[in-house]
């Protein structure tokens, strides 16, 4: 249906989709099919319970159909029947991408739980699908067996996750007295680049959504006394399905414990304000909107002078920079040090 896949992933991100579909994601034929024509074809084929007959050759028939909305399990089933293709909805795609990018044990466990939670209700609905006829082999007993397996596995994962989280709580409390800056913001805003520039570390930077799923913590370089830690969190995304927010709560909670949040936005992106809104609402959801924050307008190297003036007028307190310019990064470093120095002076004044 035209915009779905591309708008979910953003311009130039189709290779990520191709990746999910094992390199077979032929997107053009679907994108080019006029909405009404496609719908008519799907509807009549769905009524007849048979795959869509297309006048174009087999090569152009999609193997995957990706929809930028939530679909109900029966919608997915009907679409699959009508198109003869595998259907993924928005949550399905996001879960799949998260799955590919999870690196640490904690993220892997969280993603697997999110995946199973996504699958479970889809099994449930198809087992009592309003008395409709079931496909061969989709017997009631198999389904309840599958559901029990999923439940057991979820319980197992939950125990493992709790153990891992106790460990990271320990690590966190060991860091408690340290000064913390957390980079937050929309996915692809440039958080990893900034993190790398600030800390001199080798954090993965990729022009891909969700390259960062885990929180990384590094020391601000050159070292200060006391040390200032910088952490990079999972990128936010619009309409992040609720289950996934819950899954990543512990990853995001790193942001809650920071003394300062740097809201990173891609200032060269005309939709940056909508992205900022998304980040704000995710932070509100996890209760991190009480932490002091500064807006960082990143990728200013891509912005012309007129736009720069406009942005600065709109956000007078923002820090404009480019993560690719060393002089900008070192100015940000000075701002951070000054922030914490002022904070420490306040502490001294407050304490008798
Ligand atoms: P993250 O998802 O927020 O961690 O974003 P990344 O740090 O992975 O950056 C996403 C993409 O934007 C990468 O291709 C970076 O090279 C690019 N990028 C990051 N910062 C800048 C910048 O200041 N200017 C330009 N032109 N590109 C940048």
DSSP 3-state of 298: strand
CA–CA distance from 192 to each of 81, 89, 135, 142 (Å)? 42, 28, 47, 45
Non-local (6+) Cβ contacts of 227 within 8 A are 178, 179, 219, 220
The low-confidence residues of the chain, meaning pLDDT below 70, are 1-62, 101, 123-142, 174-177, 201-216, 234-254, 343-352
The ipTM is 0.98
Residue 302 Cβ < 6 Å to ligand 1? yes
The pLDDT, as a whole number, for residue 38 is: 55
Residue nearest to atom 25 of ligand 1 (CA): 299
Residue nearest to atom 19 of ligand 1 (CA): 190
Task: Give me the phi and psi of 238, to 5 degrees please.
Answer: -65, 145
Residue 187 Cβ < 6 Å to ligand 1? yes
How far apart are the CA of 23 and the centre of ligand 1, in A?
25
The answer to whether 137 and 181 are in contact (CB under 8 A) is no
How far apart are the CA of 273 and the centre of ligand 1, in A?
17
Residue 323 Cβ < 6 Å to ligand 1? yes
How far apart are the CA of 322 and the centre of ligand 1, in A?
9
How far apart are the CA of 277 and the centre of ligand 1, in A?
19
Helices 326-350 + 191-199 axis angle, to 10: 80
Torsion of CA 196, 197, 200, 201, to 10 degrees: 0
How far apart are the CA of 339 and the centre of ligand 1, in A?
25
The pLDDT, as a whole number, for residue 214 is: 56
The pLDDT, as a whole number, for residue 185 is: 84
Torsion of CA 162, 244, 277, 66, to 10 degrees: 160
Counting atoms of ligand 1 from 1, which one is nearest the CA of 185? 3
Rounded-to-integer distance, Cα 30 and Cα 87, Å: 12
The pLDDT, as a whole number, for residue 249 is: 66
Counting atoms of ligand 1 from 1, which one is nearest the CA of 206? 8
Rounded-to-integer distance, Cα 128 and Cα 26, Å: 34
How far apart are the CA of 226 and the centre of ligand 1, in A?
29
Rounded-to-integer distance, Cα 166 and Cα 197, Å: 31
The pLDDT, as a whole number, for residue 301 is: 97
How far apart are the CA of 315 and the centre of ligand 1, in A?
21
Percent residues over pLDDT 90 in the chain = 18
Task: Give me the phi and psi of 199, to 5 degrees please.
Answer: -115, -5
Counting atoms of ligand 1 from 1, which one is nearest the CA of 210? 2
Q: Which of 9, 190, 210 for mutating ligand 1's site (highest number of atoms within 8 Å of CB)?
A: 190
Between vectors from CA 110 to CA 142 and to CA 246, what angle results, nearest 5°? Answer: 100
- Give the pairing type, strands 86-88 and 64-66: parallel
Residue where the block lists tokens 């909107």: 289
Residue nearest to atom 14 of ligand 1 (CA): 207
Between vectors from CA 214 to CA 253 and to CA 160, what angle results, nearest 5°? Answer: 80
Residue 205 Cβ < 6 Å to ligand 1? yes
Residue where the block lists tokens 């006394």: 225
The answer to whether 317 and 330 are in contact (CB under 8 A) is no
Structural domains of the chain ordered from first start:
4-88 (no CATH), 95-161 (no CATH), 177-350 (3.40.50.300)
Task: Give me the phi and psi of 183, to 5 degrees please.
Answer: -90, 125
Q: Which one, of 334, 337, 262, 198, lies nearest residue 345 by Cα?
A: 337
Residue 193 Cβ < 6 Å to ligand 1? yes
How far apart are the CA of 151 and the centre of ligand 1, in A?
40
The three-state DSSP-derived secondary structure of 173-204 is HHCCCCEEEEEEEECCCCHHHHHHHHHCCCCC
Q: Which one, of 171, 166, 201, 167, lies nearest residue 183 by Cα?
A: 201
Counting atoms of ligand 1 from 1, which one is nearest the CA of 205? 8
Residue nearest to atom 9 of ligand 1 (CA): 190
């Amino acid at each position: 249906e035209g915009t779905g896949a591309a708008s979910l992933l953003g311009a130039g991100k189709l290779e990520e989709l191709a990746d999910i579909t094992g390199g077979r994601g032929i997107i053009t034929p679907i994108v080019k099919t006029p909405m009404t024509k496609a719908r008519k074809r799907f509807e009549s084929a769905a009524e007849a319970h048979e795959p869509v007959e297309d006048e174009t050759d087999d090569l152009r028939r999609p193997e995957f159909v990706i929809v930028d909305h939530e679909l109900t399990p029966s919608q997915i089933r009907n679409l699959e029947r009508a198109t003869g293709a595998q259907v993924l909805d928005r949550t399905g795609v996001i879960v799949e991408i998260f799955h590919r990018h999870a690196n640490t044990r904690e993220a892997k466990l969280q993603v697997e739980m999110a995946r199973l939670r996504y699958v479970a209700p889809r099994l449930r609905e198809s087992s009592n699908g309003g008395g409709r006829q079931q496909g061969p082999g989709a017997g009631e007993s198999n389904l309840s067996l599958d559901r029990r397996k999923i439940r057991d596995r979820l319980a197992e994962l939950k125990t493992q996750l709790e153990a891992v989280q106790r460990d990271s709580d320990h690590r966190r409390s060991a860091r408690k007295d340290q000064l913390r800056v957390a980079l937050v913001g929309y996915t692809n805003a440039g958080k990893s680049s900034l993190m790398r520039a600030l800390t001199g570390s080798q954090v993965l930077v990729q022009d891909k959504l969700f390259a960062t799923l885990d929180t990384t913590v590094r020391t601000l370089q050159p070292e200060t006394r006391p040390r200032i830690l910088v952490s990079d969190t999972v990128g936010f995304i619009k309409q992040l399905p609720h289950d996934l927010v819950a899954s990543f709560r512990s990853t995001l909670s790193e942001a809650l414990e920071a003394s300062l949040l740097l809201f990173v936005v891609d200032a060269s992106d005309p939709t940056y304000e909508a992205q900022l809104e998304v980040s704000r609402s995710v932070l509100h959801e996890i209760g991190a909107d009480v932490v002091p924050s500064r807006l960082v307008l990143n990728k200013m190297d891509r912005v012309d002078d007129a736009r720069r003036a406009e942005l600065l007028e709109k956000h007078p307190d923002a820090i404009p920079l480019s993560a690719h310019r060393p002089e900008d990064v070192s100015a940000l470093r000075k701002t951070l040090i000054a922030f914490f120095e002022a904070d420490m002076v306040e502490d001294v004044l407050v304490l008798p």
